[in-house]
């Protein structure tokens, strides 16, 4: 595959930021997290300051079960946003994901837009590359890219829907699982595999786990639709096809519920429509170990810089702690055992879990 010119990639990344920040790419559909009703504990017998919301992800301790998902890089604006959000992650003890390193592959000088260690020396940082790019790279080249941004782990994103809607996007998705299997065996660094808004089904999750993947981010429908974002950038028939498919995907809550009930050993990360501490608690009640978000953190960073971004993320952490108390759970990791009722459309999805 011929790589697009680096100027085209930079323009695309700038478009992505503008559209995502505006909210024009949001799903009209719900994540269905609102269908998870935790039962109120009127006698919690707990103090708020004794609630423990810490967890681990891929063996790394996090102060809260929260990750800022990868969004940007490759432009000066992207560099600024990465540093703002990485600094917030450092302060809060949560994980941070860089945007796709693809621009850096064509122009190594752009590595500076992904450098965040000066502001986040101890944060759990994820590099990020699409499986289509990784398929063409030697394992040693992948390791060099991860080391080049001083990341602790790599996020491998799956984005067939986005690529189909993207002008000049990939059309050949063969060899992805073999690539992931190779990296799990050879890279020597933790892998998190994620979708980009369309969700992950039980059969795909099992295939990933069998390939050696230890953590899966479902990235379900209900947050930002990357098909919608690319459709807004496209023209003619391609834009029409993108608009037709902009609501394509499995709702986040259904993905998490399906995977948690499938007997997987892989750790589940829930993203796609996480906006509040209550959303986080509901996802964890379904079986997620960690939740991830992107668009609202982007908006906060662009609106008021590090202070506003940190305040927003702190609000999610505080909200999760309060929900734990109201549900009578001393530890956030125990929310999966908290009494709950599943209502509405989510009940239908969970009752019809595919094989």
Instruction: Give pLDDT tens digits for 224-257.
Output: 998 999 998 888 888 888 899 999 999 999 999 9
For 169-208, what is each residue's pLDDT tens digit? Answer: 889 999 999 999 999 999 999 999 999 999 999 999 999 9
| Confidence band of 322 (pLDDT split at 50, 70, 90) | very high
Residue 289: pLDDT band (50, 70, 90) is very high
Question: What pTM did the predictor assign?
Answer: 0.95
Whether 3 has a pLDDT exceeding 70, the answer reads no
In angstroms, rounded to a whole number, what is the distance separating the alpha carbons of residues 303 and 72? 16
Segment among 67-71, 103-107, 325-329 with least mean pLDDT: 103-107
Please list, in sequence order, all residues whose beta carbon lies within 8 angstroms of the beta carbon of residue 82, skipping any fewer than 6 positions away. 72, 73, 98, 99, 113, 114, 116
Helices of type H across 48-201 = 76-92, 102-106, 131-134, 139-148, 160-165, 176-186
Left if phi > 0, otherwise alpha if psi is -120 to 50, otherwise beta: which for 2? beta
**pLDDT computed for residue 18 by the predictor:** 84
The domains found in the chain, sorted by start residue, are 30-351 (3.20.20.70)
Angle subtended at Cα 294 by Cα 291 and Cα 295, rounded to the nearest 5 degrees: 135
The β-bridge partners of 290 are 269
Q: What does the mean pLDDT of the chain come to?
A: 94
Instruction: Give me the half-sphere count of Cα atoms (radius 13 Å) on the Cβ side of residue 70.
Output: 29
- By residue count, the chain amounts to 355
Residue 7's pLDDT is 61
pLDDT given for residue 235 in this prediction: 87
């Amino acid at each position: 595959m011929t790589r697009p010119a680096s100027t085209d990639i930079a323009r695309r990344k700038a478009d992505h930021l503008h559209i995502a920040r505006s909210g024009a790419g949001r799903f009209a559909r719900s994540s269905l997290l609102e269908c998870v009703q935790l039962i109120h504990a009127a006698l919690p017998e707990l103090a708020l300051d004794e609630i423990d919301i810490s967890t681990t992800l891929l063996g790394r301790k996090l102060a809260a079960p929260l990750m800022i998902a990868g969004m940007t890089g490759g432009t000066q604006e992207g560099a600024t946003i990465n540093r703002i959000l990485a600094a917030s992650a450092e302060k809060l003890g949560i994980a941070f994901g860089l945007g796709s390193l693809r621009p850096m592959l064509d122009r190594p000088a752009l590595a500076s837009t992904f450098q965040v260690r000066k502001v986040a020396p101890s944060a759990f940082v994820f590099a990020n590359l699409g499986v289509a790019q990784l398929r063409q790279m030697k394992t040693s080249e992948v390791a060099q890219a991860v080391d080049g941004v001083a990341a602790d782990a790599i996020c491998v994103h799956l984005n067939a829907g986005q690529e189909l809607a993207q002008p000049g996007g990939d059309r050949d998705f063969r060899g992805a699982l073999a690539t992931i299997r190779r990296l799990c065996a050879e890279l020597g660094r933790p892998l998190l595999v994620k979708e980009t808004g369309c969700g992950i089904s039980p059969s795909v999750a099992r295939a990933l786990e069998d390939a050696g993947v230890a953590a899966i981010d479902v990235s379900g429908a209900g947050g930002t639709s990357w098909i919608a974002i690319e459709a807004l950038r496209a023209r003619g028939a391609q834009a029409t096809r993108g608009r037709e498919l902009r609501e394509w995907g499995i709702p986040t809550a259904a993905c998490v519920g399906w995977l948690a009930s499938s007997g997987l050993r892989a750790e589940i990360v829930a993203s796609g429509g996480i906006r509040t501490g209550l959303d986080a608690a509901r996802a964890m009640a379904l079986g997620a170990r960690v939740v991830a978000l992107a668009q609202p953190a982007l908006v906060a960073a662009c609106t008021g810089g590090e202070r506003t971004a940190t305040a927003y993320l702190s609000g999610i952490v505080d909200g999760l702690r309060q929900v734990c108390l109201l549900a009578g759970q001393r530890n956030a990791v125990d929310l999966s055992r908290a009494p709950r009722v599943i209502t509405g459309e989510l009940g239908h999805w969970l009752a019809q879990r595919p094989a």
